[in-house]
Structure 1
Amino acid sequence: MRLDNRTAVVTGGASGIGAATCRTLAERGADVVVADLDSEAAAATAAEIESETGADAGRAAAVEADVSDEDAVEAMIEHAEREFDRVDVLVNNAAVAAREADGPITEVTDEAYEFLTGVNLRGPMYACKHAIPAMRDTGDGSGVVVNNASVAALVAEPEMDVYTATKGALVSLTRSLAVEYAPEIRVNVVCPGVVETPMLEAALDDTDGGEGSTGGQETLERMIEDTPLGTAAPEDVARAVAFLASDDAAAITGATLPVDGGYTAR
């Protein structure tokens, strides 16, 4: 599953699943753009990739990007083209959760709704809007988009209403784009279950009241207990993304791949 001579842009690439995805893609030969709202963390992740990967690995560059801002997303894609001359793979990984939006739907606020949809849905839409033309410009007809949704898009869970809605919409967007842009560009989505990430840690620590934590703490604790294979590592999801980005998945598009430790099998 080599990815030599390809450039991948990974949003939310500075930590968690995003950072693991950047490392995995680079290890398999892709040049990687680590895009993140935290520019210092993105630069640190890119530097780690440059220093730790082997001779046959790809290069890495960092860019600050707020995916809810279309101008920033457009600049992100332009940065990738300047750094590596092309864009072949887009991984829409950036996502947020908010306690204010993950309680009962009767209590949701416009601010929380805009926060969640801005990153979780508009962000991938903006990224696809600007990355797909760049992929077409390569002339290879082999562009790939991998969206990162959630098992919450497949199984209803209480107190995660708006977050679930954004992830369900991302699954539907994936299918639509897969049909619209075939055969030039493949579009698939992974649906992770419970993964050991900073977002999970913040969600389970229900004491700070910040935007990074969710109101569904009890739901998450139960999901962990009900996952046959247990909590996944970020690298487990990253390897699934790398597979979908590679030619080994050349006949796969519009697919939804749960990476959930068997949670949806129950």
Structure 2
Amino acid sequence: MSGRDFEGFTVVITGASTGLGRAIAVETARRGAGLVVVNYARSAEEAEETARLVEAEGAKAVLARGDVAQDEDCRKIAEAAASTGRIDALFNNAGVTKFAPNHADLDAVNAEDFLRLYAVNVVGAFQMVRAARSLLEAAPAPGAVVNTASIAGVVGNGSSVPYAASKGAMTTMTLSLARALAPRIRVNAICPGFIDTPWFGKAMDAERVDRLRAGAAAATPLKVASTAEDVAGAAVFLASPASRHVTGETLLVDAGLHLGGASLAMR
């Protein structure tokens, strides 16, 4: 139990209407955050449920609709936290994919797919850091940025080639920004493996999702299919005072999936 280590923090989470973003929002509120900005791009109803869960933990929730691929929206999302004069933690969690799991089928994706995924997964995260920079620097302790990358970006697998490439770019950008923004801002990334969230249900029927879940559990040394809550703790750790001397790190949170994959020498 980490207690109230986020006491009074201002937290911004992109892509927080469901899944991992929601779990991060609730966990930071549970640990004492004062203000949690819940960003969403489309589903107001789901975002409102996240806000309700956050407020049930005692934090104030502010909804901020916006597409992180749009710089103007990123500035509006950051401005939703401006009333406190600071951002203690920014979680760049918004992400999209194109489902084309056969990476050998080069005709399954096109340039537009790459551009759309990079616009959200990479450029969007960069724009959010830029928009939030002054508020992150105003935090009493160094502001923390936590990027949600993916094991796909480390071992080159996952839902599609553009997705893996975008997440690899995100981990490289994490290193660049950690170096450039120190000492007032820390920048780290998590690399989840399979997360059992509604995300897959948007592209697959229930039977296929069940097979995917079972396959994911069988492929990990820990023999589990991770939930959003399982992964959220690692993300929140990287924004917490416990990681105050950690920056430029990429933390694999995949139940050991990478142990059966490609070499991690590139890390």
Q: Same fold (TM over 0.5)?
A: yes
Partner of 2:263: none
Match of 2:30 in 1: 27
Counterpart in the other structure of 2:109: 108
What does residue 231 of structure 1 align with?
A: 225
2:267 is the alignment partner of 1:243: no
CA offset at residue 101 of structure 1? 9.1
2:186 aligned partner: 186
Write the mapping of 1:1-266 to structure 2, written as runs, cut at 5 A. 1=2, 2-30=5-33, 31-37=35-41, 38-50=43-55, 52-53=56-57, 57-82=58-83, 84-99=84-99, 104-138=105-139, 140-157=140-157, 160-205=160-205, 222-229=215-222, 230-266=224-260
Cα distance in 2 between the residues matched to 1:81 and 1:174: 24
Shift of 1:201: 3.0
Contact 2:156 2:165 in 1 (8 A): no
Alpha-carbon distance in 1 for matches of 2:46, 2:89? 21
Q: Equivalents in 2 of 1:263, 1:204: separation in Å?
A: 22
Post-superposition CA distance 1:154-179 (Å, at most 9, x none): 11227621100000000000011111
Residue 29 of structure 1: SS of its match in structure 2?
Answer: coil
Report the AA paired with residue 220 of structure 2: T
Gaps of 5+ in 2: 261-267
Aligned length: 253
Distance 1:40 1:220 in 2: 26
| Residues 58 and 152 of structure 1, relative CA distance in 2, 3 Å threshold | same
Assess if the C-alpha contact under 8 Å between 1:141 and 1:183 holds in 2. no
1:40/1:102 CA distance change after superposition, 3 Å: farther
* Separation (CA, whole Å) in 2 of partners of 1:10 and 1:159: 23
AA matched with 1:247:
P
Q: Residue 80 of structure 2 aligns to a residue in which SS?
A: helix
Aligned in 2, Cα 1:141/1:105: closer, same or farther, shift over 3 Å?
farther
- Change in Cα spacing, 1:102 to 1:63, as seen in structure 2 (3 Å) is farther
Structure 1 position 220, deviation (Å): 8.0
3-state SS of the aligned residue for 1:186?
strand
CA contact (8 A) 2:85 2:135 kept: no
- CA apart distance, 1:223: 4.3
Residue ranges of structure 1 left out of the alignment (5+ in a row): none
Cα distance between partner residues in 2 of 1:176 and 1:219? 34
- Provide the rounded CA distance (Å) in 1 between the counterparts of 2:102 and 2:125: 21
Q: Output the aligned Cα RMSD.
A: 2.5
Amino acid at match of 1:235: E
Deviation at 1:204, TM superposition (A): 4.3
What secondary structure sits across from 1:198 in the alignment? coil
Conserved in 1, the CA contact under 8 Å of 2:189 and 2:251? yes
Q: Is the 8 A contact 1:204 1:220 kept in 2?
A: no
**CA deviation vs aligned residue, 1:181-219 (integer Å, no higher than 9, x gap):** 1121111100001111111333543999xxxx9xxx998
Contact persistence 2:213–2:225 (CA under 8 A): no
**What SS class does the counterpart of residue 147 from structure 2 fall into?**
strand
TM, length-normalised to structure 1: 0.86
Contact 2:125–2:147 (CA under 8 A) maintained in structure 1: yes
In structure 2, C-alpha distance between the alignment counterparts of 1:22 and 1:33, rounded to whole Å: 8
